[in-house]
Structure 1
Amino acid sequence: MFRSRSKDEQAATAKVTADQPQQPRDPQAPKGRPTPKRSEAQAHRRTRAHTPANRKEASKAQREARRVDMAKQREAMASGDERYLPVRDKGPVRRFARDYVDSRWCVAEFFLPMAVIILVLTMIRVPQIQNVALLLWLVIIVLIVLDSLGIWLRMGKQLNERFPNESHKGVKAYAVMRTLQMRRLRLPKPQVKRGERP
Structure 2
Amino acid sequence: MFGRKKDDAKTAATRPGGPHPEREGAKNRPTPKRRDQEAARKRPLVQTDRKKAKNSDREARRESSRKMRMAMVTGDDKYLPPRDKGPVRRFVRDSVDVRRNLGELLLPLMVAVLVLSLFAGTWATYVFLGVYVLILLAVLDSFLLWRRTKPQLLARFGEDTNLRGLGMYQAMRAFQMRRTRMPKPQVERGAKV
Q: Deviations over 1:82-138 (max 9, x none)?
A: 111111111110000000000000001111100011112221122x22212211221
* Counterparts of 1:91 and 1:142, CA distance in 2: 31
* Counterparts of 1:24 and 1:132, CA distance in 2: 97
* Counterparts of 2:86 and 2:184, CA distance in 1: 15
Please, which runs of 5 or more residues in structure 2 have no aligned partner? 1-13, 22-29
The correspondence for 2:34, drawn from 29, 38, 41, is 38
Query: Match of 2:128?
Result: 134
Q: Deviations over 1:21-68 (max 9, x none)?
A: x99752528xxxx97530232212436x9x954222112111110100
* Counterparts of 2:32 and 2:156, CA distance in 1: 55
Q: Which residue identity is paired with 1:161?
A: A
* Counterparts of 2:102 and 2:19, CA distance in 1: 73
Runs of 4+ in 1 over 6 A off after TM superposition: none
The correspondence for 2:97, drawn from 94, 97, 102, is 102
Query: Match of 1:28?
Result: 20
Classify the secondary structure of the residue corresponding to 2:58: helix
Please, which runs of 5 or more residues in structure 1 have no aligned partner? 1-21
CA drift of 1:181 comes to 0.9
Classify the secondary structure of the residue corresponding to 2:164: coil
The correspondence for 1:72, drawn from 55, 67, 72, is 67
* Counterparts of 2:98 and 2:83, CA distance in 1: 20
Q: Does the 8 Å contact 1:79/1:189 carry over to 2?
A: yes
Q: Does the 8 Å contact 1:77/1:189 carry over to 2?
A: yes
* Counterparts of 2:154 and 2:32, CA distance in 1: 58
Aligned: 1:159 with 2:158 = no
Where does 1:164-175 land on structure 2 (aligned, <5 Å)?
A: 164=158, 165-175=160-170
CA drift of 1:143 comes to 1.0
Query: Match of 1:111?
Result: 106
How large is the Cα RMSD of the aligned pairs? 2.4
Query: Match of 1:144?
Result: 138
Q: Which residue identity is paired with 2:131?
A: W
Query: Match of 1:88?
Result: 83
Structure having the larger proportion of residues in helix: 1
Residues matched between the structures, number: 170
Query: Match of 2:176?
Result: 181
Moved more, 113-122 or 97-106: 113-122
Q: Which residue identity is paired with 2:34?
A: R
